[in-house]
Structure 1
Amino acid sequence: MVIGATGQIGRPTVDALVRDGWEVTAASRGGGRDEQWPQGVRAVRLDRADDAALAAVVGEDCDLVVDMVAHGPEHARQLTALAGRVGSAVVISTVSVYEDAEGRGFDTQGEPDGFPEYPVPIPETQRTVAPGESSYSTRKAALERELLAAGDALPTTLLRAGAVHGPHSALPRELYFVKRNLDGRGTRVLAHGGRSRFHPASVRNIAELVRLAAARPGSRVLNACDPQAPTVAEIGAAVDEVMGVEPRTVLLDGAPPADSVGSSPWSVPRPVVCDMTAAARELDYRPVVSYAESLPGTVDRLRAELAHRDWTEAFPRLASTYPDLFDYPAEDAWLRAR
């Protein structure tokens, strides 16, 4: 059973499992289907907060539960309560659980010098934030701790995903470049010299990791990212190539002068790059797609979404997270002053 099957990671995961011979129940709040799924996929409506409904969908003998939406200790307890009825689990976590040697993590990045200084690359043995209820990161850490504590009662592979991307993303960071190109912006500004690296994770590569972990159950934590971690300038160039444009990029040393100038969704002062050797060692993982290879589908979807409505309507979560992505007057004023 795949929980959150119609989300951005769930869609390719269902497809990958079916192709590998699994009989899949696709559970989601709306109970919908992806048009590319085979007819044999059983789609069901599920309210994740309803423990009885979850148990009923799982049934008495489920070989595998894949959970895309678990994000706190209560969801871990939901899963561990099914031990004995479920063979194993694969659960999506996040790289934001990591903290550096000074105790800095994603939750401290808004503080002065609060952005973490991680090793490059980050191994799964890197320390993590204390589990708790205060943030997304601490709740994911609590989720991980409870599931790993279950051990052989419910062998669970936790996949720490990076900056997830794909055609059905509710947070398509690529829009930063795609919309500028569609709007005919001839110049863009990138802070930190365009060298920021925030490791992307294709939904197709995550789906491949789920498929491999499903065939090799175990209690483990693995990073889940693409084979490369391109810089933000390289990401922009890759988007430009797909769209056939050549805008000018102004590289700004140091931090953005304002939230609306030079600050992209990848603009971090220190690199966030994950080590993928453990996945290769434990699961024989080989990525199925590179970042550049994945871009045409994402760009096509963004074009289509923007054809008839404003970006804030098409992607409200992105607009809420990054409200100043397209403040063109501020950019133009900064460029004139420069």
Structure 2
Amino acid sequence: MPRALVLGGTGLVGRATALRLLGHGWQVDLVGRDPARMPAELTSAGAKFIAAERADQAQMRAALGAGADLLVDCLCFTAADARSLLPLAADSGSTVVISSRAVYVDAQGNHVNSDVPPHFATPITEAQPTLAPTTSIDHRSREGYGANKVAAEQVVLESGLPVSVLRASRIHGVGASPAREWAVVKRVLDGRTALLLARRGAGGVHTTAAANLAALIETVAHRPGTRVLNSADPDAPSALEICRTIAGHLGHEWEEVLLDDTAPAGLGSTPWDSPHPIVLDTSAATALGHRPAGTYAATIAPALDWLVDAARKGRPPSDADYFAGYFDYAAEDAFLAKRRIGG
């Protein structure tokens, strides 16, 4: 039985990866700080929790033990993180580092966290230029996140070890934080009868189901190598299509109000709204043999049910700052009232 060790294993990506591998005959050990965060479904499925700090080399070495066939790092944010991973990767058959589409820059040097939104004229391949690497800016900041990811990528890719760097985009699934679909699910639960969408809902940022990322992780586990691969859903739905999928699953109907550029700034925004579509080219993963678990619509249902259940139990997503701008119902109602009277 092959063994997988997942660092940051109780989070969104770790959970999906464990379920995928356990279903295909793997032994899966999940490393985390708090055993209380271990999903019961993973324990029931046979996963083992190992309490350890990602930054503690002795604890990480103990968790790895005699080695692993697959090592997955969901917590590699900086060059220092990457350097600490290398001794573990040396004793693993294949290593995966989770990265992000936040590393890419357009022709003007703009990226997804810059003040000026990027404009990628075509789907983004792995050859697209990236930010310059940095170790001097906090990786938790807007300007530092992508640049630190680039620095981490460079460390592992230059190591000579079989490490696959997977660049994902807007990951969704059970346990997501932030759970972006809450921006629509809450509106449904609040009984809103109208959905306002900026840019007529045409904007779109490519999504990545955790289940699809897990499928790619399994693919590279069987094909060790040093590479960078984009990871995204096989479709790239627009904000309008995503909202329709969510409302349809929840059996909710509302009037779709597709706003143009004359609408007030900020009105009708969603987590998937973008002045220019951001789409990842995943042909390299496909050529390697990757077969996605499903489209956005086919993979999102469990996350929507999880959000509804959490809300009914009085435990909705706690990312208040992230969602603050999505529920200005007073501004929406004022716009709709003015629209009705032809103002």
Compute the TM-score of the two structures, normalised by the length of structure 2.
0.90
Which runs of at least 4 in structure 1 moved beyond 6 Å after TM superposition? none
| Residue deviations 1:156-184 (CA, integer Å, cap 9, x gap) | 10110111111211211111211111111
| Residue deviations 1:282-333 (CA, integer Å, cap 9, x gap) | 2x11111211112321221111111143xxx63223x222321111111112
Alignment of 1:14-25 (within 5 A): 14-25=18-29
Indicate conservation of the 8 Å contact 2:22/2:28, yes or no: yes
CA–CA distance in structure 2, aligned partners of residues 308 and 17 of structure 1: 30
Residue aligning to 1:28: 32
1:77 is matched by which residue type in structure 2? Answer: R
Residue aligning to 1:85: 91
Q: Secondary structure at the match of 2:12?
A: coil
Residue aligning to 2:140: none
CA–CA distance in structure 2, aligned partners of residues 290 and 149 of structure 1: 34
Indicate conservation of the 8 Å contact 2:172/2:179, yes or no: yes
Indicate conservation of the 8 Å contact 2:174/2:303, yes or no: yes
Residue aligning to 1:51: 57
Matching residue within 71, 76, 95 for 2:77: 71
Residue aligning to 2:335: 334
Residue aligning to 2:141: none
What CA RMSD, in Å, does the superposition of the two structures yield over aligned residues? 1.7
Indicate conservation of the 8 Å contact 1:166/1:202, yes or no: yes
CA–CA distance in structure 1, aligned partners of residues 81 and 200 of structure 2: 41
1:170 aligns with 2:174: no
Matching residue within 16, 35, 46 for 1:12: 16
CA–CA distance in structure 1, aligned partners of residues 199 and 92 of structure 2: 47
Count how many residue pairs are aligned between Structure 1 and Structure 2.
Answer: 326
Indicate conservation of the 8 Å contact 2:32/2:51, yes or no: yes
Residue aligning to 2:159: 150
1:179 aligns with 2:186: yes
Alignment of 1:265-284 (within 5 A): 265-282=271-288, 284=289
Shift of 1:336: 2.4
**1:120 to 1:255, Cα distance in 2 relative to 1, 3 A:** farther
Unpaired stretches in structure 2, ≥5 consecutive residues: 138-143
1:200 aligns with 2:202: no
Shift of 1:83: 4.6
Residue aligning to 1:96: 102
Alignment of 1:87-166 (within 5 A): 87-108=93-114, 110=115, 114-133=116-135, 134=137, 135-151=144-160, 154-166=161-173
Aligned residues with identical type, % of pairs: 38
